[in-house]
């Protein structure tokens, strides 16, 4: 896992302690299909924004569905 | 002007009618666990048809159990509401004044605030009473949001319950004084909760991000202003937006669960009544508490935090 992926996994597990992910299989699967509900996603995205000093617009947030979507957004310059 | 006005007692009214949220939740694809663990309730209080904010205030006054001769001494009635009787004219506090048959010398006014209203209101009411030498006051919170919530709206229809509280204030006797408070507003994001269309609309993400970032900062700023520390508080009573918001704020504030009561079960988010309802229950459960932090945040992206200190 990259540093970004490791950090994101940590943020998700703060909200959903049992969360595990096989990136090859589920990296592009919407998080809500992996047991992350809408409130947890809100909290995770807030942590991502604070950690990587980003501000996602509502439209961008709508596009952040999967684990890898969020990683790519976090790494985007 | 010396501060002497303190909270003497809090009483409340919760309508006996309830809405089973599970029925609504199924339509949105939510399970019972989500309601219990994230929202904090599977049912919401709802006022009886044909009643208004002032009727709920009257019911809360009955729960206060003041003898009639004590009621006649009340010199101030303030109602915090954003769902006033009619369309707000006349002000709900005047209607409460009539229904309680209070003295003509009693001052009455309303305060239009939502979830931060109890902290703002306490500061206004206590300062007004101190300045005017009023020795008995009633501060109501009453927001029957069932009037404006659309049952089909996923963002709001599982959250809000109707409730009313009354806080009896006086110049002497054992009680709680608001010793310090700080107030703020993020008006640029103030549309996040609105009633522009006649039905409540809420940007849940916007409100969540606001609460998680602004409230901890404000709490820190309060202690920078007045000294002391959050750890010295016996209880921290946060606005009960949802169980999730209370839990996440508690985690950010690094507070143990036993200091941060959650009081949503069977009620829901009762807007300006959420803090006094929680305070009423928490002080009953923790009679030895001496210092309590209260923090309200929400509508208008208005927020306020204060410290209550027990006094003799």
**For residues B102 and B69, is the Cβ–Cβ distance under 8 A?**
no
* pLDDT tier at B294, thresholds 50, 70, 90: very high
Average pLDDT over residues B118-131: 98
Average pLDDT, chain B: 96
Whether chain B has a CB inside 8 Å of the CB on A46: the answer is yes
DSSP label at B117?
A: H
Residue B144's pLDDT is what?
A: 97
Q: Is the Cβ of B250 closer than 8 Å to some Cβ of chain A?
A: no
Query: Do β-strands B302-311 and B291-298 pair in parallel, antiparallel, or remain unpaired?
Result: antiparallel
Nearest residue to B182 via CA among B126, B155, B221, B145:
B221
Q: Where are the alpha helices (DSSP H) in chain B?
A: 21-28, 32-34, 53-64, 68-71, 92-99, 117-132, 204-226, 243-253, 274-285
**pLDDT for B302:** 97
C-beta atoms of A46 and B244 within 8 A: no
Per DSSP, the three-state class of A44 is helix
Element (H, E) at B7: strand B6-13
Mutate to test the interface with B, among A17, A18, A39 (most CBs of B within 10 A): A39
pLDDT, position A57: 85
Closest Cα to residue B162, out of B141, B176, B177? B141
CB within 8 Å: B34 and A42? no
Q: Is the ipTM of this complex over 0.85?
A: no
Q: What is the mean pLDDT of residues A21-31?
A: 94
Cβ atoms of B245 and B208 within 8 Å: the answer is yes
Residues in Cβ contact with B184 at an 8 Å cutoff, skipping those fewer than 6 apart: B214, B218, B302, B303, B304
Angstrom distances, CA of residue B98 to CA of B92, B140, B162, B280: 10, 15, 22, 26
| Chain B residues with CB-CB distance to A43 below 8 A | 208, 212, 244, 248
What pLDDT does A77 receive? 67
Which chain B residue has its CA at the smallest distance from A15's CA? Answer: B248
Q: How far apart are CA B282 and CA B291, in angstroms?
A: 12
User: What per-residue confidence (pLDDT) applies to A62?
Assistant: 86
Which range, of A48-62, B54-68, B73-87, averages the lowest pLDDT?
A48-62
Decide if B34 touches A, using CB distance below 8 A: yes
How many C-alpha atoms does B250 have within 13 Å on its Cβ side? 21
């Amino acid at each position: 896992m990259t540093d970004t992926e490791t950090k994101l996994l940590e943020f998700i597990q703060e909200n959903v302690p049992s969360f595990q992910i096989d990136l090859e299989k589920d990296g592009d699967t919407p998080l809500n299909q992996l047991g992350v509900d809408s409130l947890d996603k809100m909290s995770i995205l807030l942590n991502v924004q604070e950690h990587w000093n980003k501000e996602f617009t509502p439209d961008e947030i709508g596009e952040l569905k999967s684990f890898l979507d969020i990683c790519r957004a976090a790494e985007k310059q | 002007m010396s501060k002497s006005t303190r909270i003497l007692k809090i009483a409340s009214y919760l309508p006996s009618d309830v809405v089973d949220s599970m029925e609504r939740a199924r339509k949105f694809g939510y399970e019972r666990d989500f309601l219990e663990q994230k929202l904090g309730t599977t049912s919401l209080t709802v006022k009886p048809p044909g009643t208004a904010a002032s009727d709920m205030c009257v019911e809360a006054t009955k729960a206060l159990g003041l003898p009639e001769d004590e009621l006649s001494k009340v010199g101030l009635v303030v109602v915090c509401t954003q769902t006033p009787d009619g369309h707000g004219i006349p002000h709900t506090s005047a209607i409460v004044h009539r229904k309680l048959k209070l003295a003509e010398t009693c001052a009455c006014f309303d305060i239009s605030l939502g979830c931060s209203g109890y902290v703002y209101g306490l500061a206004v009411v206590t300062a007004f009473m101190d300045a005017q030498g009023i020795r008995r006051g009633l501060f109501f919170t009453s927001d029957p949001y069932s009037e404006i919530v659309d049952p089909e709206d996923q963002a709001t229809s599982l959250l809000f319950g109707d409730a009313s509280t009354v806080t009896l204030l006086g110049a002497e006797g054992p009680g709680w004084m608001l010793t310090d408070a700080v107030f703020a507003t993020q008006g640029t994001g103030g549309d996040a909760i609105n009633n522009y269309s006649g039905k409540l609309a809420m940007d849940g993400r916007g409100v969540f991000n606001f609460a998680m970032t602004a409230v901890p900062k404000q709490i820190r700023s309060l202690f920078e202003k007045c000294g002391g520390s959050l750890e010295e508080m016996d209880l921290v009573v946060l606005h009960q937006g949802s169980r999730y918001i209370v839990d996440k704020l508690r985690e950010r504030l690094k507070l143990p669960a036993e200091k941060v009561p959650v009081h949503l079960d069977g009620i829901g988010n009762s807007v300006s009544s959420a803090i006094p309802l929680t305070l009423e229950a928490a002080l009953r459960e923790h009679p030895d508490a001496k210092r309590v932090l209260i923090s309200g945040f929400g509508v208008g992206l208005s927020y306020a935090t204060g410290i209550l200190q027990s006094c003799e």
